[in-house]
Amino acid sequence: MAGPERIREFAAIAQLEAIFRGRSAFVELGIGDDAAVLKPRGRLVWTVDTAVEHVHFERRWLSLGDLGWRSFQAAASDVCAMAGQPLAALSSVIFPADFSAAQLKQLARGQRAAARALGCQIVGGNLARGAELSITTSVLGSAQRPLLRGGARSGDELWLLGDVGLAAAGLCLLQRGRSGSRSAQRALRAFRKPSAQLQAGLSLARRAHAAIDISDGLAGDAAHLADASNVRIVFDLAAVEAALSPALRAVAAELARPALDLALYGGEDYALLAAGPKRRRPSGARVIGSVEDGRGVWLSGSNGRTRAGAGFQHVSAGKIRRR
């Protein structure tokens, strides 16, 4: 019986060209030549992100379509956090010797679906054989005024746009081999198919002073924002609790984990954390804290203030885990 069809470079390139072909007002020449030709507007926002098997994901937990979607959305989230519109992307895939042409097609279709959901076109990339599967995605976006991490000011409100904690709950379910309830399915979907907050990011333009996407958990990414802005971030724990989704509360109870812990110290939700003045707060933003003079990230509750711990660790001895 014949085995799976091996990847042949020129055939694979032709297949990917057919999958990624599309039209965009920002792309003059897409995939198929030595390089793409773009005609962007505004200032350029450019990012790159790599997902490596056994470090950022395990294939037994994800379909290849999910992996294509997830890796693309994670990269595009950085552009969205800067109030940018993703325009075009490059994808580089390193695949192991046993990876088939059919598997590459499944992965590419997931990437295409994620790109189309954000109005972005994949315009090229590279294929290479290696020891393990990895996907590197570079996304080019456009922003009239890019929103940085370093602009938060004392007196700003702290805003949350999107849900946090569900992806971490989904990871816990997979690690424990559990699923079944409706809330568990929501959490698994949050881990497998997160969505970059494009419209939320655009809503922050000319409103927020600073923003960051939540890939390392609320506490971890707040620390990045606090360091870049040279300010103190204070989370109001009651407000954070009130902002958590019912699905997270339900699945946290199933896992016997505090929902607040999953939100603060989980990761890979790709919600947005922003700081800005009350008078400019966008609709849909939930106030979960404040910005003060000082340094670090603090948790304010009924028993006073405590210093926040570390966030999600993507790379740790080749395993996915949180500390």
| One-character DSSP codes across 72-127 | HHHHHHHHHHTT-EEEEEEEEEEE-TT-BHHHHHHHHHHHHHHHHHTT-EEEEEEE
List, in order, residues 6 or more apart from 141 with CB less than 8 Å away.
44, 45, 46, 47, 76, 79, 80, 82, 84, 85, 86, 87
pLDDT digits (tens, 9 = 90+) for 257-291: 999 999 999 999 999 999 999 999 999 999 999 99
Amino acid code (one letter) for 34: D
Nearest to 270 by CA among 315, 199, 309, 212: 212
Query: Which stretches of the chain are DSSP H helices?
Result: 9-20, 64-81, 101-117, 166-176, 182-192, 198-204, 217-229, 237-243, 246-255, 259-265
Question: By the 8 A CB rule, do 249 and 259 touch?
Answer: yes
What is the rounded CA–CA span in Å between residue 317 and residue 323? 12
pLDDT digits (tens, 9 = 90+) for 139-172: 999 999 999 999 999 999 999 999 999 999 999 9
pLDDT digits (tens, 9 = 90+) for 83-103: 999 999 999 999 999 999 999
Question: By the 8 A CB rule, do 71 and 135 touch?
Answer: yes
What is the rounded CA–CA span in Å between residue 65 and residue 116? 14
Indicate whether 136 pLDDT > 60.
yes
